[in-house]
Structure 1
Amino acid sequence: MTYIAKSVWAVLLSVTMAAAVQAQDIKNESKKVKAVIKQLFDGMRQGNPDMVAGAFYENATLQTTFTHRKTGKSVLHNGGAYTKFVESIKKKKPEDTYDERISKYVVQIDDNLASVWTPYQFYLNGKLSHCGVNNFQLFKSEKGWKIISIIDTRRRKKCK
């Protein structure tokens, strides 16, 4: 084997190994991102406001989009700061159950930013209430991955 051929093989091997390491890093980070989202929904199910709050980064926001039933117009509702959501979990009646079921996670990560698309069905007290898609934005801070924004769609019809 010539010197040039050996050099080409060495470069190809290095690139392949680097790509494998990077793919493994992304897979590990993806698991960490999913764990934060799971923490949020487990906290909702358990009625644990501290668990819910721990999934968010400071000043995180929540928004919802839907089609108005009477006018048929698209609406963007600003749910405000995540702290309002945490307060609603604190005020939840013990007999009420909030169960948001995620059917899959589509995770994209670049550096310290993650975007996650999650189709869901929401059950209130065991009955299907609505469905849609969540879009999470997460930031990797010194405390790990934290949710900085959630926007979701909501509909009562065509839920699978």
Structure 2
Amino acid sequence: MNLRKLGFAITMTCSLSPCYAADQAAQVMEPVHHFFDALGRQDKSGMLAVVAPNVEITSVQQGELRRRNMDSLAEAIAAHRGGAIAEHIHDPLVHIDNDLAVVWAPYKFTLDGHVNHCGTDVLTLARIDGRWIIIGLSDSERKENCQ
């Protein structure tokens, strides 16, 4: 009887592990989704609400690095008047180690519903005081092969 209980306990522990990992990944993705939803609403304060202070976005475009302060980017997004904008990520890969996480996700950036450019976003997040926040953002950006 005790052996049966031990087997059940081991089975439950092993089966709960993937659920815990999925729950952790969902928690990491919350600020990521919040950031891109706010970007689509052109909501500067919404974007910055899930980003650590003084974060820069680093873009790799045609072999060149371009850096921009996140406050400046959020201001430019909020001031945009050339039609609806959105950044759609898909198939994110989430890696977590304790209070550090990385999200790797292909994206398409659209203007008025038309793809303007695409690439891959890499977001680094940290859990500070029990809350996941974006502490770094990098992307590749290209105009070709954005089907």
Q: Classify the TM-score, shorter chain.
A: 0.7 to 0.9
Distance in 1 (alpha carbons) for counterparts of 2:98 and 2:10: 20
Distance in 1 (alpha carbons) for counterparts of 2:77 and 2:116: 17
Name the SS for the 1:18 alignment partner. Answer: helix
Total equivalences in the alignment = 147
Say yes or no: does 1:92 pair with 2:87: no
Deviations 1:93-145 (A, max 9, x none): 2x522111112111111111111111011111222111100011111111511
Aligned pair in 2 of structure 1 residues 113, 16: CA closer, same or farther (>3 Å)?
A: farther
Distance in 2 (alpha carbons) for counterparts of 1:157 and 1:76: 18
The Cα of 1:50 is off from its aligned counterpart by: 1.3
Stretches of structure 2 that go unaligned for 5 or more consecutive residues are none
Instruction: Report % sequence identity.
Output: 23
Distance in 1 (alpha carbons) for counterparts of 2:86 and 2:9: 47
Name the SS for the 2:29 alignment partner. Answer: helix
In the other structure, the counterpart of 2:71 is 83
TM-score by length of 2: 0.87
The Cα of 1:31 is off from its aligned counterpart by: 0.9
TM-score by length of 1: 0.81
In the other structure, the counterpart of 2:94 is 107
Distance in 1 (alpha carbons) for counterparts of 2:102 and 2:111: 27
> C-alpha root-mean-square deviation of aligned residues, in Å?
2.1
Deviations 1:65-90 (A, max 9, x none): 021xxxxxx111122x3111222133
Say yes or no: does 1:55 pair with 2:39: no
Say yes or no: does 1:22 pair with 2:11: no
Distance in 2 (alpha carbons) for counterparts of 1:59 and 1:16: 46
In the other structure, the counterpart of 1:116 is 103
Name the SS for the 1:58 alignment partner. Answer: coil
Residue 136 of structure 1 aligns to which amino acid in structure 2? Answer: L
Stretches of structure 1 that go unaligned for 5 or more consecutive residues are 68-73
